[in-house]
Chains A and B, each alone.
Chain A
Amino acid sequence: MPAVRVATVAEDGWVGRLARPIRRLGRLLFSVALTFLGLTCVTFFIGRVIPIDPVLAIVGDKASIATYNKVKIEIGLDQPIPVQYWRYLVKIVHGDFGNSIITSEPVLHDLMHVFPATLELSVLALIIGVVFGIPLGVLAATHRGRWQDQVIRFVSLLGYSMPVFWLGLVGLLAFYAELGWVAGPGRIDVSYDDIVHPVTGLLTLDSLIEGEDEVFWNALSHLILPASILGYLSLAYVARMTRSFMLAQLKQEYVLATLAKGLSPFRVVWVHALGNVWVQLVTVIALTFGNLLEGAVLTETVFAWPGLGLYMKNSLFNADLNAVLGGTMLVGVVYIGLNMLSDLVYPLVDPRAREQR
């Protein structure tokens, strides 16, 4: 008897334990698929109604009508839009995002080339934003209404409201043209170009891997200004959010209790209160990162930074729809990925989330 019972329990447990994650995975996959369908649908139809003619982008204004029509058929634009969309979906399912008009390369290849440049920029910007933004937010909360708070509020308001385009130019004028502290627009000096072979595509990392110190310093010197400017923008957001989260925490009774128990105010603020806002901050940071990726268009234009933003802008102006769609999907993937990642991180920073699982 006992043996049988044990077996049943084990079977129950096995099926039960497996069923839940499978169901969860199913739900997740379904929602991801739905998100993508929506994303492709909206982008595709917007792309088809913009009044720029992709055929003209390829053949030029002066080609004969025969050539024009031939290319139109070649890229499938002679079909009704729903048919075009269906064909596109079928191709995506097979992992084929089509070729870019501009580069004639598969869009996936292009994205693998441009994305690391944006990633490098965004990661450093995020680090700057978080490393400076959180302490500033905490400081503002603990000094609420005093001059520190006002200064931080002013600094973040500036970051909120100044056009990144203008900020970039002013930054270049000051730190590159006048002071000469950093290198100019572009990812690397012409003389260092093509020395390092791309492994990760992140120039700073690749140059370290290959032990090319000079290339590393040059790449970093090119990177630091645009990253700081993007970082400043995310700093503004992170600091504002941290401040309001912290204010909510500092009102809680446990803060008073711990202080009454004689803990140092420093410990109460930086360990206990800050510890409790991490869950919210993880979401903020994930969102900030997503914003950085898609918000890089203007920064990349000013800094001639050959990343995703520049690629997508260029593609849009040339009606290079495959490239625009591919880029949009990539940003979508990143957002979904970040969401999943922050889901994973919650239990690490919040024991309650751990127990719920």
Chain B
Amino acid sequence: MSTRLRLAALAVALPLAFGSSAVFAATPKDTIVMGWQLDGVLTFDPAESYEIATQEFGTNIYDRLTRYEAEDPSKLVGGVAESWTISPDAKTFTFKLRPNQKFASGSPVTADDMAWSLQRVVILDKAPAFLFTQLGWNKDNVKTLVQATDPSTLTFKITEDLAPSLVLNLMSTYAASVVEKKVAMANEVNGDLGNSWLKSHSAASGPYTLVSWKPDESVTLEANPLYHMGAPHMKRIVIRHIPEPSTQRLLLEKGDIDIARDLTPDQLKPMEGNKDIKIESFPAANTYYLGMNMSEEHMKNPKVREAMKYLVDYQGLVNTVLKGRFIVQEAFLPVGFLGAIAYNPYKLDVAKAKALLAEAGYPNGFELEFTAPNTSPWTDISQSVQQTMAQGGIKLKLVQVELKQELAIFRGRKHQLVLNSWAPDYFDPHSNADTFAHNDDDGDTPKIKPLAWRTHWYIPEMTKITLAAAKEVDTEKRKAMYADLQKKVTDDGPFVIMFQNANQVAMRADVKGFKTGLFEDFNFYRTITK
């Protein structure tokens, strides 16, 4: 009896013991704590990083040759460079560096650092290297083509014909960050140009420095007082890896985090009345589409492709399950990009689709395997698509898989129909055109695997236009070329282009100045206050 009583007493007392030390931990006044799924974080090295989260961190840690700043994210301005000139043949670019820039270590930022940083992206040949190799740079020539002509002047030459606006946009990517050569080289191992050290350290001149990265746990950034625009408001930014969105919500409501990045609509909705929390939605630049496979007999027929485009409930989805997270955009350029057009010719029209299928010789429809990722919002989209396609007679066998698994299937062209999304690599229309409208080698061993290749859409003529648009110096002409390309892809291509996404961010009401941009490159921490 007494044992039982004692046990009971213990059971009650144990939690109470913590009641006293409990825990209304509002985050420190000078610190922003963010909850985010960080399982994709692999490296912080600008010459290697290609994941969404590290691109965002990189935006706030490193300064770049050119960049889009928080104050006006639609205008390209100087970052490390203050001004630039371009030779009449658009082959030689000369950048004058901003005076008195310093790295967080206190050393001045020199043109030599900048040149070396660009060279090492090409020499290391990691994921982002393709950004610069399209300029004609390679391991052998990059050291002669990219040079510091004096401590404050960087000059580089390109060997390919490219529009200057495209070149300058490439110089605004994370890969074009300035890395402090001396620090990186002091940590070099086996000729890796500091790569393994820079995976988890920074040698940078941006508003924040990387204090620590604990995989599966957190990333901590600290304000850099030497940043050329002045120290940011928040002294520390801590990004905690919170894998489970429901947990993020609890932490946010409790005030243990200031910003939650991964909340789903069913978690956001109940918080709408909570005056301590605000939910904001910002347009982003991911294009969601269905990708066909033109090696598959049915989809070789343009009428079938057209019919399928009439069998998606674009507006219905956006008004219901995807509310706040997507807008309809049936052209391959996201709204906000140079050359983007409002071109949405398709809506759900079952009768029209049936007629088209009958014309194509499939009055009773046919069956296809439909591969889609197994998490929301993908599942919301794929289930709706399955249902509306069935109305037109196209029976989709839905196979839901892990996103990475789907990618392997799609890249291997082993799909019949996939649901996927495309995120542009830089703020220039070429990034999307080069994937949706580029395939002049449909063999099994191409140099790159653009989406047109993955769908077996062999378009040598259109590829020429795509490449010409990338070179067009006259911006108005260039825009017109992209408008034309977009219409062609939407009308005839093996893509059912559906949506452009938006990021929904939930924040404590006292957090101000944080918004996410079209890209991770536009997500600034230095403007945050609370």
Contact = CB atoms under 8 A, between A and B. Distances in A.
B74 interface: no
A175 interface: yes
Interface in A54-88: 56-67, 70
A200 to B, nearest CB: 17
Contacts of A116: none
Contact of A63 (B130, B238, B445): B130
Given A62-B425, A135-B3, A190-B28, A52 B408 contact: yes
Interface stretch (B251-259, B270-278, B305-313): B251-259
Contact of B127 (A67, A169, A221): A67
B476 interface: no
B19 A302 contact: no
B448 interface: yes
A112 interface: no
A173 B216 contact: no
Contacts of A53: 404, 407-408, 411
Given A52-B402, A182-B23, A306-B216, A61 B133 contact: no
Contact of A114 (B42, B216, B449): B216
B250 A304 contact: no
B247 interface: yes
B39 interface: yes
Interface stretch (B10-18, B340-348, B495-503, B517-525): B10-18
Interface string B507-526: 00000000000000000000
A194 B212 contact: yes
B50 A319 contact: no
Contacts of A66: 125, 447
Contacts of A103: 200, 215
A101 interface: yes
Interface string A3-14: 000000000000
Contacts of B19: 179-181
A81 B446 CA distance: 25
Contacts of B425: 62
A306 B214 CA distance: 9
A56 B406 CA distance: 12
Contacts of B199: 104
Residue among A65, A67, A110 with most chain B CB within 10 A: A67
Contacts of A241: none
A160 interface: no
Contact of B407 (A61, A191, A314): A61
Contacts of A177: 250, 253-254
B50 A181 contact: no
B127 A135 contact: no
A172 B16 contact: no
Interface in A332-351: none
B240 A60 contact: no
Given A176-B250, A185-B247, A304 B28 contact: no
Given A62-B130, A65-B446, A184 B256 contact: yes
A317 B15 contact: no
B250 A218 contact: no
A332 to B, nearest CB: 21
B517 to A, nearest CB: 20
Nearest to A323: B215
A281 interface: no
A184 B3 CA distance: 32
A70 B125 CA distance: 9
Residue among A62, A64, A310 with most chain B CB within 10 A: A62
A61 B411 contact: yes
B248 to A, nearest CB: 9
A221 B449 CA distance: 51
B426 to A, nearest CB: 11
B50 A60 contact: yes
B28 A182 contact: no
Nearest to B42: A102
A317 B404 contact: yes
Given A181-B18, A182-B18, A224-B18, A59 B23 contact: no
Interface string B164-181: 000000000000000000
A97 interface: no
Interface string A183-214: 11111011101100000000000000000000
A147 B126 CA distance: 67
Interface in B214-234: 214-218, 220
Residue among B25, B247, B256 with most chain A CB within 10 A: B247
A185 B21 contact: no
A261 B13 CA distance: 39
B216 A310 contact: yes
Contacts of B365: none
Interface in A123-158: 132, 135, 139
Contact of B130 (A64, A110, A179, A189): A64
B130 A302 contact: no
B411 to A, nearest CB: 7
B202 to A, nearest CB: 15
Contacts of B407: 53, 56, 61
Given A101-B42, A110-B215, A319-B404, A301 B243 contact: yes
A65 B243 contact: no
A311 interface: yes
Given A186-B240, A194-B212, A302-B244, A59 B126 contact: yes
A177 B274 CA distance: 14
Contacts of B24: 180
Given A301-B244, A314-B39, A184 B18 contact: no
B241 interface: yes
Interface in A269-328: 301-304, 306, 310-311, 314, 317-319
A217 interface: yes
Contacts of A224: 14-15, 18
A59 B447 contact: no
Interface string B37-71: 00111110000001100000000000000000000
A250 interface: no
Given A67-B125, A172-B247, 7 more contacts: A52-B405, A63-B130, A65-B445, A139-B4, A184-B23, A301-B244, A318-B42
Interface of B: 3-4, 7, 11, 14-16, 18-19, 21-25, 27-28, 31, 33, 39-43, 50-51, 125-127, 129-130, 133, 196, 199-200, 212, 214-218, 220, 238, 240-244, 246-247, 250-251, 253-254, 256, 401-402, 404-405, 407-409, 411, 425, 445-449
29 contacts: A51-B409, A53-B404, A53-B407, A53-B408, A60-B50, A60-B51, A62-B50, A63-B129, A66-B125, A67-B127, A101-B42, A104-B199, A110-B215, A175-B15, A176-B254, A180-B22, A181-B15, A181-B22, A184-B247, A185-B242, A185-B247, A186-B240, A189-B256, A193-B218, A193-B220, A217-B18, A217-B21, A306-B214, A318-B42
Interface of A: 50-53, 56-67, 70, 101-104, 110, 114, 132, 135, 139, 169, 172-173, 175-177, 179-187, 189-191, 193-194, 217-218, 220-221, 224, 301-304, 306, 310-311, 314, 317-319
